[in-house]
Amino acid sequence: MRARNRAFATLALLLAISRPAAAADRGTAALTAARDIWGIIQQLRGDHEAQDGPRPGQAPAAHPQPMPPAGPSDLTIDLSDLSRPAAIESRFAPLNRLAESQIRVTVPNGQARLGNYSVGSDQTVRGHLLVVRGDADIYGRVQGNLVALDGNVTVHPGAVIAGDVLVVHGVARVVDGGVVDGEIRTLSAAVPAAAAGAPVSALALTVRRLAGLAGVAMTLAFLGLGLATFGHHNLEIVSDTVSHSFGRAFVTGLLGQVLLLPTFGMVVVGLVLSVAGILLLPFAVVAYVLLAVIAIVGGYLAVAHAMGETYVRRRMARGVTMGAPSSYRFLTTGLVATLALWAAWALFGWVPVAGDLIRGAAILVTWLLGTAGFGAALLSRAGLRENFAGRIIPPEALTDEYLWATPQFGVPAVRRPGGARSPIGGP
């Protein structure tokens, strides 16, 4: 019915144009009439499309919510330069505290839309476009920059954006056939403090640290078990080197740590200078790293073995029943001793000052023991040399009787092994 009425209006307008007019006003009248006729045709076309529905391949008609005009105290955002997205994001910060009905934004040389917004395939948006709290689906043309706040941007096939695209707290997607002449930038949403994780309680933190310490202890225990089974002799020599030459072992380990990287560099350079060395370079690098790790871990286990052996033998010398001494027992006892400070940190690390002190002490002691073990492994050539292992002492001096405490209050001590003996039949 509305289309019929508009058709009659068109005919009336044509009749009015056909009347004679002054020669001076004919050009102006014709131009005005042509514009009016074109506007009526566009209205008729729009009514026809509304009745028939969207054409295939064209997005459904969108119903955006145009923002009310901004007042003097409302937000004005210039979208002509999107090269500094962080600064533009900070300009949007006041909008986070407002409801949708309170949002007032002015875009110079552009427009702002609230909610989901779609540009049809036959539509052209002149100037910049801002979409707040909604997705922007572009099927037509945008002759400016496009910014989406708290939403996504999708550039469909056949769409053209003549400027840049900035998506704040969303993602941008350009389907095959879509064109963006400028750059595409995205800024992810900041993770709130609650999403980052609530503060861990002292009990949960303690349980987590104890679980980590138990995992480290089990790993070292399995490595020590394998070393005591397949390298028992080498383990004992390195352990004895730590016991009898601790000072030399620590200094050697300290120098070894300093020269570890320079030596590696010299090895690499030496291999690179030869044709055959280049082929062997990957194997040499892997072998060097493995040897360094074995020396450090094996030296630390040797220190634990030495500590456990000293403790067990002293207890046995005092008459305490400890069972049959073995390298497995020595390693277990030594690992418990070396990890005692870490256990204390796991239990009391949540204490503000004491926790940091215990952790620092644990790190220092672990470094000292590891350095000494590394030096002992270097001195003894991984247990192949016995020069620094104290093996020049008679075997009788390493028995439990030798470690027996000297009696007090005038009770004579037993003659130590290796002492001078009176000849048979002497006085």
- C-alpha closest to that of 302 among 232, 387, 362: 232
Mean pLDDT, residues 125-153 taken together:
91
pLDDT tier, 62 (very low <50, low <70, confident <90, very high otherwise)? very low
Is residue 99 within 8 Å of 114, Cβ to Cβ?
A: no
Strand partners, 179: 160
**Which two structure tokens, joined as six digits, stand for 235?**
């383990």
pLDDT at 413 over 70: no
Least trusted range by pLDDT, from 77-81, 98-102, 180-184, 362-366: 98-102
- Mean pLDDT is lowest, of 57-61, 134-138, 324-328, 371-375, for 57-61
Which pLDDT score is estimated for 73? 42
The average pLDDT across 9-20 equals: 48
pLDDT value of position 191: 43
For range 377-394, the mean pLDDT: 77
Cβ(339)–Cβ(217) below 8 Å: yes
Residue from 332, 347, 75 nearest 203 by CA: 347
Q: What is the pLDDT of residue 86?
A: 82
Q: Residue range 370-394: average pLDDT? A: 82
* Residue 136 DSSP code: E
Contact by Cβ (8 Å): 280, 271: yes
Mean per-residue pLDDT over the chain, rounded: 77
The rounded distance, in Å, linking the Cα atoms of 402 and 400 is 5
**Whether residue 6 has pLDDT greater than 80:** no
CA nearest neighbour of 66 among 123, 108, 117:
117
User: Could you tell me which residues come within 8 angstroms of residue 417 by beta carbon, excluding any fewer than 6 positions away?
Assistant: 394, 396, 397, 399, 401, 402
- Report the pLDDT value the prediction gives residue 277, as an integer from 0 to 100: 82
| pLDDT value at residue 392 | 52
Mean pLDDT within 262-288? 89
- Collapse the DSSP code of 357 into the 3-class scheme (helix H, G, I; strand E, B; otherwise coil) and give the result: helix
Q: Does residue 253 have a pLDDT over 90?
A: yes
**Would you state the structure tokens that stand for residue 13, as one six-digit string?**
């307008």
The better pLDDT of the pair 91, 152 is held by: 152
pLDDT at residue 5, as a whole number: 53
The pLDDT of residue 415 is 52
What does the pLDDT look like over 182-237, one tens digit per residue? 889 888 754 444 444 456 788 888 999 999 999 999 999 999 999 999 988 899 99
How large is the average pLDDT for residues 257-274? 90
Phi, psi of 124 (to 5 degrees): -135, 125
Can you read off the two tokens belonging to residue 187? Answer: 């800024």
Report the pLDDT value the prediction gives residue 65, as an integer from 0 to 100.
Answer: 52
Handedness of CA 222, 223, 225, 230 (dihedral sign): positive
Banded model confidence at residue 250, pLDDT cuts 50, 70, 90: very high
- Residue 130 has phi, psi (to 5 degrees) of -120, 125
Q: Which residue has the higher pLDDT, 316 or 211?
A: 211
pLDDT at 42 over 70: no
Pairing of strands 141-143, 165-168: unpaired
Tell me which of 415 and 237 has the higher pLDDT: 237
Give the pLDDT band (50/70/90) at residue 60: very low
| CA 30 to each of CA 14, 26, 40, 42, 44: distance values in angstroms, whole numbers, following the listed order | 10, 6, 15, 18, 21
Determine the pLDDT at residue 25: 47
**Is the pLDDT assigned to residue 304 strictly greater than 80?**
yes
Measured at the alpha carbon of residue 115, what is the angle toward residues 111 and 120, in degrees to the nearest 5?
A: 65
Distance CA 399, CA 415 (A): 14
What's the pLDDT score for residue 138? 94
Which run of H or E residues covers position 208? helix 202-230
pLDDT above 70 coverage of the chain, percent: 71
The string of pLDDT tens digits covering residues 319-367 is 777 777 788 989 999 999 999 999 999 999 989 899 999 999 999 999 9
